[in-house]
Amino acid sequence: MERYAHITGWGMAVPERIMTNADLAEIVDTSDEWIRARTGIRERRIAGPKETTGTLAIEAAQAAVEVADIDPATIDLIIVATSTPEYVFPSTACVVQDALGALNAGAFDLSAACSGFVYALSTASNAIRSGAHNTVLVIGAETMSRVVNWEDRGTCILFGDGAGAFLLQGSEQPGGVLSCLLRADGSGGSSLMIPGGGSRAPASFDTVREHQHCIYMDGKEVYRFATRVMASAVKEVAQMGGLELEQLQVIIPHQANQRIIDSAARTLGMPEEKFVVNLDRYGNTSAASIPIAVCEAVAQGRIRPNDNLAMVGFGGGLTWGAALVKWDVMEKADISFWHRARRRASYEMAKVRSVVRRGVRQVEGMVYGTGPLRPPPEPSQMPPAQSPPRKQPVDGKAPPK
């Protein structure tokens, strides 16, 4: 029997703090007019001191689990697409697994920059279709504010923070994720990158001084690449799924720039109304932008049952990808008070379980003579977003040597 991967839950989370274009104009040499005219962005959300990629991912995941109305212990696999993970390792997916009490899940992070969510959706769908997994949680989560150079007006105006999640479940009923297209061109890697902090340029005083842990982007090059690949990816993924462009009701593009979206709409010959756009309020949230846009479109009634959707992403790598989805969500009875209460209690239990397991490890360490575990150091500085820097633009287009 052939198996299909259906989206049965979805959720999003964004920080409360709003940073407007006017706020940015106090930090770098820019203006609301310039940002709106060149990008369409009016404001973005910025994580507060207690918010991280992990906390946003957990909130979005819990919302998706709620919509799907499942027990977190039934989740087989958790994939977090992110370029701003909680740590290099352990993965942010493991942080989510622990918080949800997803005791039977494997968990890993996926790195494909702004295309990450489409890559993760494709991976999850294939895992389900192969029969290896049945219930997979896919999350796109970012705190881009922690990796932008707040002195570089060419990039800091673009990005924002947030997370979105889908819960996918397998069934023999045709539908769900119909086709996926993933592509990469590593020759364009230097057009959009964080050069420092990897094995090539490990963290040092120099890498920090030179802002190598921040985003470097050749905006024009990325713009050209995006307008080249977006329309063709939508066409190709529709063809792979056996649909004509006219049969697509909604397009959910990566939310990078209104002009890029307009250009894709023109090339495809599709009305702009079919494109979901919320970048005016959130900016570019990288791997989180597509699931956040889907959640909002569902809440607004723009995505209706049995609509055919095309999601299309592009970004660092260079990478791009598209997914064709039949939004054949099953009508669910109202989730009972007891289900909600039990799930909330299970999250509290997950916290207790996590603390107990850490305690057991400490005791084991002493019993087996390896000594107590040393806790990791606390971050000694506030994140950059909390301490806006001097008003002095720096042209950060070329990565430092």
The answer to whether 253 contacts ligand UT7 (rule: CB under 6 A) is no
Q: Which residues are 163's β-sheet partners?
A: 13, 141
Shortest distance, position 282 Cβ to ligand UT7, whole Å: 13
**Whether 249 contacts 294, CB under 8 Å:** no
Q: Which residues are 310's β-sheet partners?
A: 251, 324
The answer to whether 157 contacts ligand UT7 (rule: CB under 6 A) is yes
Strands 77-81 and 43-45: unpaired
Binding mask 274-313 for ligand UT7 (x = CB under 6 A): ----------x-----------------------------
Report the distance separating Cα 152 and Cα 150, nearest Å: 6
Which one of 6, 94, 114, 257 is the catalytic residue? 114
**Whether 59 contacts 13, CB under 8 Å:** yes
Choices 203-211, 212-220, 351-359, 371-379 (CB under 6 A): range interacting with ligand UT7: 212-220
The nearer residue to ligand UT7, 97 or 319, going by C-beta atoms, is 319
User: Where do we find the tokens 């999601």?
Assistant: 311
Q: Which helix (H) or strand (E) holds 166?
A: strand 161-171
- Annotated catalytic residue 214: no
Specify the DSSP class assigned to residue 159.
B
Which one of 254, 257, 295, 308 is the catalytic residue? 254
The nearer residue to ligand UT7, 137 or 311, going by C-beta atoms, is 311
User: Where do we find the tokens 């310039």?
Assistant: 34
Which one of 6, 284, 295, 308 is the catalytic residue? 284
- Annotated catalytic residue 156: no
Q: Give the 3-state secondary structure percentages of the chain, helix then strand then coil, rounded to 5.
A: 40, 20, 40
Residue (of 102, 99, 121) closest to 110 by Cα position: 121
The answer to whether 55 contacts ligand UT7 (rule: CB under 6 A) is no
Give the Å distances, CA to CA, from 74 to 28, 62, 100, 108, 109.
Answer: 48, 14, 11, 17, 20
> How many other C-beta atoms lie within 10 A of the C-beta of residue 125?
26
Residue choice 220, 344, 361, 391 for contact with ligand UT7 (CB under 6 A): 220
- Annotated catalytic residue 133: no
The answer to whether 116 contacts ligand UT7 (rule: CB under 6 A) is no
The nearer residue to ligand UT7, 95 or 193, going by C-beta atoms, is 193
Binding mask 22-51 for ligand UT7 (x = CB under 6 A): --------x---xx--xx------------
Residue choice 150, 223, 282, 320 for contact with ligand UT7 (CB under 6 A): 223
Specify the DSSP class assigned to residue 330.
P
Residue nearest to ligand UT7 (CB): 219
User: Residues interacting with ligand UT7, by CB under 6 A?
Assistant: 30, 34-35, 38-39, 114, 153-154, 157, 217, 219-220, 222-223, 226, 256-257, 284, 315
- Name the residues annotated as catalytic: 114, 254, 284
